[in-house]
Amino acid sequence: MMNCQSLVKAGQIECNSWHCCTTNKGSNATSWMEKSVKYISVIMLVLIIAGCSKPNKFESEFEKPKWFDAIEAPSVNTSNEVSALWRSEKRCCEDENTLLKNNRIFYKACFNAISDHYEDEELVVKCLWLMDIGAESDQKVQLTRFLVKNFSHHKNSIAGCANCMPGDTVARETLTLARYESRLSNSKDSSIRLIENVLDTRLDEISYWVQAELYEYLGKLYLESELNNERLVRMKEVFDRFNNVKKYNEPLERRYKSFEKVYQIIIEKSHNNSLQRNANEPAE
């Protein structure tokens, strides 16, 4: 039986097929085919990797609500676009169904924006801060906890806000989380640690009026748990500081009375505790 080369020499076939002959013409065809296969393989690999890319931390921890796919939402790609969408619809003072629809649209837009732009910290924090308005009840705590845990360092914009400081968003979300934790647990220790930590680490970056809200709630937590000497000293120091600053800081002055009421209760309780200890001491 004659092989391919013999047939060519005998003039019975032409060497015009890459799978038949090993002449230069056949070698070039083989080389081209191999390169094509490699090229296609690379493209397929890139597509597979892109389709199987690892989800970011947000996508890993959050599930889409059941209603998610039934809602149409615009695409937002920047923090400014998030703000514009937030302002575009009513968030209160409207019938319940309209508000629910508006808030779910905002939630979905932010969910997708965080998934697509997780590297944009300003966008992510703003969405996490605002999108709980459209979240299911069990996810509201999750959103707040995620923000505080992963973005405690975040500095919000203070452009156009005379009474804002770069740590205000994180501080207020920490306060929200502390309130959630207090309701979810009989112990107040976790909530106390949250507020004390943000005050200790970022005090100079928090507006006085936000500080007043934090200390007011912290004082209430002290009253509900244990009012030891260290906590009493902390509250006395901040009372003296607020008492001086409120003279020239109007936002603090508006919130000062609420804080002062809690502080007076703390002082009264401390005094009563001292009287009780003295009464229990054995007479000499």
Q: Same domain for 187 and 76? A: no
Instruction: Examine residue 47 and state whether it is found in any structural domain, yes or no.
Output: no
How many separate domains does the chain show? 2
Instruction: Examine residue 52 and state whether it is found in any structural domain, yes or no.
Output: no
Q: Same domain for 250 and 162? A: yes
- Per residue in 231-243, pLDDT (tens digit) is 999 999 999 999 9
Q: What is the pTM of this model?
A: 0.78
Q: Same domain for 168 and 256? A: yes
The DSSP string of 266-277 is: HHHHHHHHHHHH
Domain that holds residue 222: 152-271
Q: Same domain for 136 and 182? A: no
Answer for the pair 18, 26: CB distance below 8 angstroms, yes or no.
yes
Question: How confident is the model at residue 76, as a pLDDT?
Answer: 97
Q: Same domain for 83 and 161? A: no
Instruction: Examine residue 49 and state whether it is found in any structural domain, yes or no.
Output: no
CA-to-CA distance for 141 and 147, rounded, in angstroms? 10
Q: Which two tokens stand for residue 51?
A: 């389709």
Instruction: Examine residue 206 and state whether it is found in any structural domain, yes or no.
Output: yes
Mean pLDDT of the chain: 86
Coil, strand or helix: which one is 3?
coil
Domain boundary among 142, 172, 188: 142
- Per residue in 120-172, pLDDT (tens digit) is 999 999 999 999 999 998 899 999 999 999 999 999 999 989 999 999 999 99
Q: Same domain for 179 and 89? A: no
Instruction: Examine residue 17 and state whether it is found in any structural domain, yes or no.
Output: no
- Per residue in 13-64, pLDDT (tens digit) is 444 443 444 444 455 555 656 665 566 654 555 444 444 567 899 999 999 9
Q: Same domain for 175 and 111? A: no
